[in-house]
Structure 1
């Protein structure tokens, strides 16, 4: 009764606004699994009403009784995937999911596919065919994920005159546990045994056609008869403009990394980090020659971090006053972070034009500050030096990203960035919670699964600091990590999924360019994915590239014209770091390491020059 009252209230409220949905929404059957009194399983057919209206990106889930987190997570994911499939901004709509649950059910991920098709139908004013029921998770990339209890669900659907039953691809033959009850006198004995079931054959016995579906497009076609078409992808991703933009940075980093290596190898040729750095530099050289410039810069960064750590460890070992040496390192790194932050704020003073470049810079400055804080808190000298070396190099990459910015005469208002940052952060938290719930239910341990929680923590820090662009892209990274983990549940054809992710990223990048945007951050993630071999890493990077390109397009649609165009920073010149001589005394070594003064001075000169040029 409460659900019916809520539905009436929602429909009345919607009638006063511009509605992009069927009046009263779309009702779709849901099939679930529940426990029986003897410890077995049985299927149960439920119902859900989905309403979509113009709004601000809220997802409302009403169930009676209250259900587990995974059913709510399925609804949120359904809204995200439906918006993505239709090529619309999710934040332009509100989504209502009213689910009638007659009895407690086991989990809720299997409702995801049905909720998604109902959402798409509501957005397009399509009706659903009667007699069609499905079970299957919805994955963030639009694929249908595996579920349990399929035979029990099929039996429940058949009892309600279902004619077509859709199941996830690859699950036409499943193994289930059946409970056999026997009585001996006053006692009942339960015996659980495994049984392999051919679901298609079971469907024939029940007079129901069973069909496998792999994507939400397959589901939409089966439920509505409509086809979701994707535009043909033309053109290349790594364009000459992109390569021309990245090549100077890669060349500069190549020179610097090799210069540092020559000095480090001369003083400590067999040091483990130096030997490792040589291998990384060789791989970077291959990437550079293949014009994989972003991949090369990432490897140069890793090598410089290793060599910086090695050099500073060497300096610490030689220092007469080790506490003073560490204090000087902390101060030098703090100076580097402040220098990068000053350059960022100067660039942003004209407004946020290239949102992805600024977001990348903000994210890296925040990561550097987190590592600096970690270094200050630890008493372990090895950990302290490693954290300081990482913080130093990460802060420098913020300035590198500013040199990749493409300023225009349009900026995105801060209130838009702040609002979007909060929304993307909320989305990331929801998907992360859903992922953790699924991992826990499957018997796994969520800790360290995807690293999305760390990205969420960074996004929250960035929100507090006013780094809204950084918060957006760290939230997106968290969402994609959680989504990739969800999408790899069960038996997955990773090669096929990687190819689909690549095509989706390519399409999103192409759409951004058609909108007049060069999505450098998205293209760099795409390029990085091209060099990877591990399925998770490859799928994650392609998916991140897609989401960054789409988000950049949405954000730039809110940009406004300005009469001020920022001057793009230039690359700071490479100044070799003075390294301690093997024969130097402890006191001499302490005064020589680290030598940041020349680099900091060069950065200051460039910053002052750019300000004079702007004035």
Structure 2
């Protein structure tokens, strides 16, 4: 009898230990053309390791579920500043049928990951349905009404959904949930999710502190560009300008004036930059430059590029402001080079030449930020090379995930080319340029992942949530004495575009979020994870996991840049 008890113990206990923390997942499946809600079980276990992610599912799921699990884990660790480098993460999903697929379980996986790492007590009768996005933002998913019905048939009492999605197809989900005994609540990000599940607010709301040095430098930069606008406007008025052209000029002038009134100096500078390109292009068109005059201007641009590059190389990189200044100047100069290479292929030579000259001027203008004081760090080539390689790896993983989810729809994107450009910059030791190229590539993928499930009527709310996430990251870094000038500038531009161009606003919010993350430059100390020793089941479990296979889609597409920002 004693031997039988021991045998049962050996068979049962490892399985119990391996389950770790648990959450009920909600999903939908289509039966005879009708959507029906279903539920599944998610388990998370930590073992000592190297931040690897293992996933076992019953039944097998699509490959995008495997990749989205890693994505959700990375977001959870990043959002709560957790050091997840010394643990392996083992996820198990069990369902009655093949109902779990893709990003729809992302928010639940991220939330349970954070709860497990932080060893928090939580309510198992609360669950969430939604995607997880950069900045810890919760995104909407479909079939929520049916998922609420599934929750009512199980032991769930509260269902969390993405902010701004309470009214779906004219159905008030809160009222509908109450009729079934389910409480439905909206959440904006992971912080909200964990508050409802654990009763703890892990991240406090912070405001970005004023930075007089940044404001002073950016205001002077904006003034220089907008004075240039006035001068070009006067020059163009000497020619015969059509009513349509005058209306376009006035529209652009109104944009910059409005931004100045709101003291959004980066947005104003960007609008003046765009106006300068337009005005100078008109001037060159009406002046009808000869080929000799065009060549003279191009030669002048080439010489000035070399001079500015030498000046940048001579600047000591001692602060994050120094580094980000060198990054953005390098990116502008690279844009100028690309324009020069394709100049003869341009359909509008006057506008192309105008853009090239004004882009060069913007690179020169950004150099004034080398005077901005800041906290000093060791930022040598070894550190920057390591950061560049890590950022390329992150952008590759994110790109492959999007490719797997969307397939051929990604062919319209230039993300692949940006990653290849970053690799080329790495090989030529241009680490500052590599960082911004890889960061923008990752942000492009994040934008696609963030927007694929957001209905048009919810885009404004989603943009605001993303802007709030960016402000939180900048505020946290500013508190440490580190001010991300690129991230803050792009945030201001996203703010200015929010009403008129919400999708462009979302793009620059993604850029701001990615370029405000100081981990792209160095690894600061993070919260260490305490873990329990692996159970005997954990060792055997790793032998039977399903390893994620990443599929690389090589896109051959010529990228055409059309920057409107400074």
Q: TM-score range by the shorter chain?
A: 0.7 to 0.9
Q: Is the 8 A contact 2:232 2:279 kept in 1?
A: yes
> How many angstroms does 1:331 deviate by?
3.4
Q: Find the counterpart in structure 1 of residue 479 from structure 2.
A: 514
Give the TM-score normalised by structure 2: 0.73
Q: Deviations over 1:308-355 (max 9, x none)?
A: 33344455x453xx4x55554543433333333222222268898622
Q: Is the 8 A contact 1:374 1:384 kept in 2?
A: no
Q: Is the 8 A contact 2:239 2:286 kept in 1?
A: no
- Bigger radius of gyration among the two: 1
Q: Find the counterpart in structure 1 of residue 272 from structure 2.
A: 300
- The structure 1 residue matched to 2:515, chosen from 543, 548, 551, is 548
Q: Is the 8 A contact 2:305 2:333 kept in 1?
A: yes
Q: Find the counterpart in structure 2 of residue 373 from structure 1.
A: 341
Aligned-pair Cα RMSD in Å: 4.2
> How many angstroms does 1:86 deviate by?
1.3
Once residues 286 and 496 of structure 2 are traced to their aligned partners in structure 1, the CA distance between those partners, rounded to angstroms, is 33
> How many angstroms does 1:394 deviate by?
1.8
Q: Find the counterpart in structure 1 of residue 191 from structure 2.
A: 217
Q: Is the 8 A contact 1:355 1:552 kept in 2?
A: no
Q: Is the 8 A contact 1:61 1:98 kept in 2?
A: yes
1:339 aligns with 2:307: yes
- The structure 2 residue matched to 1:417, chosen from 378, 384, 393, is 384
Q: Deviations over 1:190-245 (max 9, x none)?
A: xxxxx98979757866xx6342332333432443x2322433435654x4322222
- The structure 1 residue matched to 2:213, chosen from 220, 234, 241, is 241
Q: Secondary structure at the match of 1:410?
A: coil
- The structure 2 residue matched to 1:391, chosen from 349, 352, 356, is 356
Q: Find the counterpart in structure 2 of residue 362 from structure 1.
A: 330
User: Taking structure 1 as reference, are residues 456 and 518 closer, same or farther at Cα in structure 2, changes over 3 Å only?
Assistant: same
Once residues 27 and 483 of structure 1 are traced to their aligned partners in structure 2, the CA distance between those partners, rounded to angstroms, is 28
Q: Is the 8 A contact 1:33 1:42 kept in 2?
A: yes
Once residues 343 and 93 of structure 1 are traced to their aligned partners in structure 2, the CA distance between those partners, rounded to angstroms, is 45
User: Taking structure 1 as reference, are residues 552 and 274 closer, same or farther at Cα in structure 2, changes over 3 Å only?
Assistant: farther
Q: Is the 8 A contact 1:455 1:474 kept in 2?
A: yes
Q: Is the 8 A contact 1:213 1:219 kept in 2?
A: no
> How many angstroms does 1:120 deviate by?
0.8
Once residues 218 and 171 of structure 2 are traced to their aligned partners in structure 1, the CA distance between those partners, rounded to angstroms, is 55
Q: Find the counterpart in structure 2 of residue 473 from structure 1.
A: 436
Q: Is the 8 A contact 2:209 2:478 kept in 1?
A: no
Structure 2 spans left out of the alignment, 5+ residues:
1-13, 526-566
User: Taking structure 1 as reference, are residues 291 and 163 closer, same or farther at Cα in structure 2, changes over 3 Å only?
Assistant: closer
Alignment of 1:187-266 (within 5 A): 209-215=182-188, 216-223=190-197, 225-234=198-207, 236-237=209-210, 239-266=211-238
Once residues 77 and 328 of structure 2 are traced to their aligned partners in structure 1, the CA distance between those partners, rounded to angstroms, is 25
User: Taking structure 1 as reference, are residues 80 and 537 closer, same or farther at Cα in structure 2, changes over 3 Å only?
Assistant: farther
Q: Find the counterpart in structure 1 of residue 109 from structure 2.
A: 115
Q: Find the counterpart in structure 1 of residue 543 from structure 2.
A: none
Q: Deviations over 1:151-188 (max 9, x none)?
A: 5545655666545544455667767xxxxxxxxxxxxx
> How many angstroms does 1:557 deviate by?
6.1
Q: Is the 8 A contact 1:51 1:95 kept in 2?
A: yes
Q: Find the counterpart in structure 2 of residue 137 from structure 1.
A: 131
User: Taking structure 1 as reference, are residues 243 and 150 closer, same or farther at Cα in structure 2, changes over 3 Å only?
Assistant: closer
- The structure 1 residue matched to 2:21, chosen from 23, 26, 29, is 26
User: Taking structure 1 as reference, are residues 357 and 32 closer, same or farther at Cα in structure 2, changes over 3 Å only?
Assistant: same
Task: Report the count of equivalent residues.
Answer: 503
User: Taking structure 1 as reference, are residues 47 and 245 closer, same or farther at Cα in structure 2, changes over 3 Å only?
Assistant: same
1:402 aligns with 2:367: yes
Q: Deviations over 1:538-563 (max 9, x none)?
A: 444445434433x237736669xxxx
Once residues 474 and 91 of structure 1 are traced to their aligned partners in structure 2, the CA distance between those partners, rounded to angstroms, is 25
Once residues 121 and 89 of structure 2 are traced to their aligned partners in structure 1, the CA distance between those partners, rounded to angstroms, is 17
Higher mean alpha-carbon deviation, 254-263 vs 39-48, is at: 39-48
Once residues 358 and 138 of structure 1 are traced to their aligned partners in structure 2, the CA distance between those partners, rounded to angstroms, is 32
Give the TM-score normalised by structure 1: 0.68
Q: Deviations over 1:362-391 (max 9, x none)?
A: 221222222222224x2x5x3444334323
User: Taking structure 1 as reference, are residues 477 and 455 closer, same or farther at Cα in structure 2, changes over 3 Å only?
Assistant: same
Once residues 524 and 302 of structure 1 are traced to their aligned partners in structure 2, the CA distance between those partners, rounded to angstroms, is 16
> How many angstroms does 1:121 deviate by?
0.8
User: Taking structure 1 as reference, are residues 59 and 414 closer, same or farther at Cα in structure 2, changes over 3 Å only?
Assistant: farther
Q: Secondary structure at the match of 1:32?
A: strand
